[in-house]
Amino acid sequence: MGNKINTNELLIKNGRVIDPLNEIDSVCDVLIEAGKICEVGKPHKELPEEKVIDASGKIVCPGFIDMHVHFREPGDEEEETIRSGSHAAVAGGYTSVVCMPNTDPTIQDETSIEFVHRMGRQTRKTHVYAMGALTKDRKGVELSEMGLMAGAGAVGFTDDGTGLQDASVMRKALKYASMFGLVVSQHCQDNSLAGNGVINAGFNSTLLGLPGMSPLAEELMLWRDIQLNKSIKTKYHAQHISTKGSVDIIRRAKQEGIPVTCEVTPHHLLLNEQTVAEYDTNYKMNPPLRTEEDIAALKEAVKEGVIDALITDHAPHLQSEKELEFLYAPFGIIGLESALPLFEKALIEDGIIEWSELIAMLTCRPAEILGINDTKGSFTKGKWGDVTIFDPEEKWQIDVNKFISKARNCPFHGWNVKGRVSCTIVGGEVRYSSERN
């Protein structure tokens, strides 16, 4: 995305190179020339020291792609900006991120899509993409100008933050979007069932005296959308799924050949509803934290390949807002800078999957959903020289006060974790290095 042409060369040596798309998992070198992947293997070329990165003991993989972040620009720049968010992204190993359109004003026309791209380019950190709103003002009534936004480079459409309630409008949206081959991404939540819920519905909400959000609110809309898409067969993506029921619905749909993909966050894999007991608003998120049974089902789904992408749903908020009464505090937590070790804890440490599978859900699979796999998501020759290098064994403690993001709303503060990004390369340029920062 418009970085200046980089004629320099870069050689990453002796790392464990994992490129899931090309089924590479071996200790070798990666050579980047003119910002593009040139060779993976043992390049014969010798380069001067300053153009060589020694990745011994580290994993070298295509740059991470987070297809679900909120950078709050335009409108709420005090919470995060595209600039601050991009800095946080590369610190977490992300070389591409997709901004959700629920900003104020809404990202829903060519100009706003171009604005996001421009701010991203100017920051010169990560690639910044945007999804446009699915309906005007995300109200769920009239379709947005999808075609124009597609022309401006939008990578999908969503009313994220809310689900599209009206079934007939949703059917229209799916049909119309099918023209452009771009994904329709849904925050599955039937408001009539979710009500004013702020945590998972159930006994825990009885004890805490907080209104509950039924798992069915998620599952019902997911099931509805899949039925609607049965004949339309456009690219449909379920955002941040959180329940066992959702996993079952998606598994069945995939078996039936209905196009559906989905994503999961680290917090829904690691935290259950009990963590809300102290009314700490850093555990207030939407969808809410669910039960151990749901977590087990999500992990099983990861193992089976039912989950396509790992995302952060990076949702920055001011500390003063998160200090409000649980009922009134906003939903959401940040996640870009702590995602890798949290996914490691949830999925590798627990023996659910291997690194290559985890990396696939952070690289080639989201790239394919977003339709950016012609340039991103793998080490195929000629693709962008986007590389994430991390030490899978490095132990560290998450400290929100050291985050580059403007926000601090993260429930994982103080967690001891393993796996740390040491270097993030975008278009052949080192955009983050733990030694420099």
Partner 1 sequence: MAEGKIEWTRKHLLGLRELSREEIELILDTAKSFAEVNKRSIKKTPVLRGKVVVNMFFEDSTRTRNSFTLASRRLSADVIEFTKKSSALSKGETLLDTARNLEAMGVDLVVIRHNAGGTPKLLSRSIDACVVNAGDGFHEHPTQALLDVYTIREKFGSLDGLKIGIVGDIANSRVARSNVYAMTKLGAEVTLIGPPTLMPPIGDLPVKVSNSFDDVIESLDVVNMLRVQFERLSSNPFPSKREYTRLFGLTEQRMKRAKDNIAVMHPGPMNRGMEIESSVADGANSLILKQVTNGIAVRMAVLFLVSRAPE
Binding-site positions for substrate read 70-72, 102, 286, 317, 331-332
Cα separation, 319 vs 40, whole angstroms: 45
- Judged by CB under 8 A, the chain residues 44 through 63 that form the site for partner 1 are none
78 binding partner 1? (CB under 8 A): no
Q: Which is nearer to partner 1, 209 or 257 (CB)?
A: 209
Q: Which is nearer to partner 1, 218 or 308 (CB)?
A: 218
Per-residue binder mask for partner 1 (CB under 8 A), 279-318, x = binder? x---------------------------------------
| Residues that constitute the known binding site for Zn(2+) | 68, 70, 160, 187, 240, 313
Cα separation, 233 vs 254, whole angstroms: 12
- Judged by CB under 8 A, the chain residues 244 through 283 that form the site for partner 1 are 278-279
323 binding partner 1? (CB under 8 A): yes
Neighbours of 175 (CB within 10 A): 15
In the bound complex, what is the minimum distance in angstroms from residue 35's beta carbon to partner 1? 48
- Judged by CB under 8 A, the chain residues 180 through 199 that form the site for partner 1 are 195-196
* Token pair 């080490």: residue: 379
In the bound complex, what is the minimum distance in angstroms from residue 84's beta carbon to partner 1? 24
Catalytic residue among 19, 313, 386, 391: 313
Q: Which is nearer to partner 1, 167 or 207 (CB)?
A: 207
331 binding partner 1? (CB under 8 A): no
Per the CB < 8 A criterion, the answer to whether 425 and 55 are in contact is no
What are the structure tokens assigned to 193, written together?
């069932």
Active-site residue flag, 374: no
206 binding partner 1? (CB under 8 A): yes
SS3 38: strand
Number of residues forming the site for partner 1 (CB under 8 A): 20
Among 421, 430, 285, 427, residue whose Cα is nearest residue 359: 421
In the bound complex, what is the minimum distance in angstroms from residue 330's beta carbon to partner 1? 12
208 binding partner 1? (CB under 8 A): yes
In the bound complex, what is the minimum distance in angstroms from residue 291's beta carbon to partner 1? 12
Element holding 430 (H helix, E strand): strand 429-433
Q: Which is nearer to partner 1, 321 or 350 (CB)?
A: 321
- Phi first, then psi: give them for residue 35, nearest 5 degrees: 80, 0
Which of residues 26, 34, 142, 328 is near partner 1 by CB under 8 A? 328
Among 357, 286, 312, 383, residue whose Cα is nearest residue 89: 312
Going by C-beta distance under 8 Å and a sequence separation of 6 or more, which residues neighbour residue 428? 6, 8, 9, 10, 32, 33, 34, 35, 36, 385
In the bound complex, what is the minimum distance in angstroms from residue 414's beta carbon to partner 1? 16
Sign of the torsion formed by the C-alpha atoms of 163, 168, 173 and 174: positive
In the bound complex, what is the minimum distance in angstroms from residue 202's beta carbon to partner 1? 5
Q: State the DSSP string of 255-286.
A: HTT---EEEE-HHHHH--GGGGGG--GGG--S
Per the CB < 8 A criterion, the answer to whether 113 and 98 are in contact is no
Residues belonging to the active site: 313
Contacts with partner 1 by CB under 8 A lie at 195-196, 201-203, 205-210, 278-279, 320, 323-328
